[in-house]
């Protein structure tokens, strides 16, 4: 994988960063996007020499265009894999949300993924492995109260993933999705005054998983590596649950 190039959106922390670290460990060049330059710099230091960073909000079409243009020059015009991890997450009852708020979830969690696949397609055609991986959620298969907008956008992402798998199969581009359960990442930092601290929240949610614990980013990264690797050469259109069994209960 010494010459492979992967783009990971939302790659400066949490699951995205863990995937970037593992791909780099395997010898790949990793390209990570994020909104915060400080986090990107910290991630680049943590990952190592073959890491390239791009600052921008993936909810904005102009940022997506700019990042892909910059990537062409740093990757030599090719891409071996695209990992769509950037997402908007939050709690709010649907009846309390304005249409614009709901649209914001779909803009980042769904439409940005569609746009990025379109932008990356010419580069993927020149790559080896040719794999796209979306990071969805078990909430896209089974929602809980207060996550309606997020859950609906992830359900739509699941169908987008499978549809792209069909349409891109003639190009030998594989498209799969990972559906994590609760994973201990910064996305679970308190968002509302009544929210528990992240450490307490993870303790409270651990028993909900049949395996008795929440996930760590590395749990998702190892599954991502499998789906991106030649070991999964006959896997496409898969919705891969990596969730400690929470989708079973």
104-125 residue pLDDT tens? 999 999 999 999 999 999 999 9
From the candidates 52, 89, 105, 150, give the one annotated as an active-site residue: 150
50 is a domain residue = yes
Per-residue pLDDT reduced to its tens digit, 78-101:
999 999 999 999 999 999 999 999
193 is a domain residue = no
How far apart are the C-alpha atoms of 217 and 106, rounded to whole Å? Answer: 24
207 is a domain residue = no
Please, which residues bridge with residue 124 across strands?
none
* CATH assignment at residue 241: 3.40.50.720
84 is a domain residue = yes
Selection from 241, 224, 213, 199 nearest residue 11 by Cα: 224
Per-residue pLDDT reduced to its tens digit, 127-137:
998 999 999 99
| In 111-233, alpha helices (H) | 112-125, 148-168, 198-205, 217-228
202 is a domain residue = no
pTM of the model: 0.96
pLDDT averaged over 10-residue windows placed end to end, the chain, 249 residues: 92 98 97 97 96 97 97 95 96 95 98 98 96 98 95 98 98 98 92 87 96 98 97 97 96
Residue that is written with structure tokens 């740093």 in the block:
74
212 is a domain residue = no
Contact call for residues 9 and 33 (beta carbons, < 8 A)? yes
Provide the domain limits for residue 94: 5-187+217-248
211 is a domain residue = no
Domains held by the chain: number: 1
17 is a domain residue = yes
The answer to whether 105 is a known catalytic residue is no
Cβ-Cβ contacts under 8 Å for 170 (sequence gap 6 or more): none
């Amino acid at each position: 994988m010494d010459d492979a190039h992967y783009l990971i959106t939302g790659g400066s922390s949490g699951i995205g960063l863990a995937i970037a670290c593992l791909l780099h460990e395997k010898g790949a060049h990793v390209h990570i996007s994020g909104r915060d330059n400080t986090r990107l710099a910290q991630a680049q230091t943590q990952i190592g020499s073959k890491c390239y960073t791009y600052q921008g909000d993936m909810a904005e079409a102009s940022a997506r265009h700019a990042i892909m243009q910059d990537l062409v020059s740093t990757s030599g015009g090719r891409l071996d894999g695209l990992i769509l991890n950037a997402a908007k997450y939050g709690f709010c009852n649907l009846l309390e949300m304005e249409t614009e708020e709901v649209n914001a979830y779909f803009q980042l969690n769904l439409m940005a993924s569609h746009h990025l696949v379109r932008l990356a397609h010419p580069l993927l055609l020149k790559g080896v492995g040719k794999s796209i991986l979306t990071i969805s959620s078990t909430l896209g298969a089974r929602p809980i109260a207060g996550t309606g907008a997020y859950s609906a956008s992830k359900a739509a992402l699941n169908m987008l993933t499978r549809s792209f798998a069909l349409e891109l199969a003639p190009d030998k581009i594989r498209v799969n999705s990972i559906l994590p359960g609760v994973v201990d990442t910064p996305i679970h930092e308190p968002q509302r005054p009544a929210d528990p601290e992240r450490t307490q929240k993870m303790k409270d949610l651990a028993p909900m998983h049949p395996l008795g614990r929440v996930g760590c980013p590395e749990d998702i990264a190892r599954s991502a590596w499998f789906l991106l690797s030649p070991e999964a050469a006959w896997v496409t259109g898969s919705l891969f649950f990596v969730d400690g069994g929470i989708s079973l209960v």
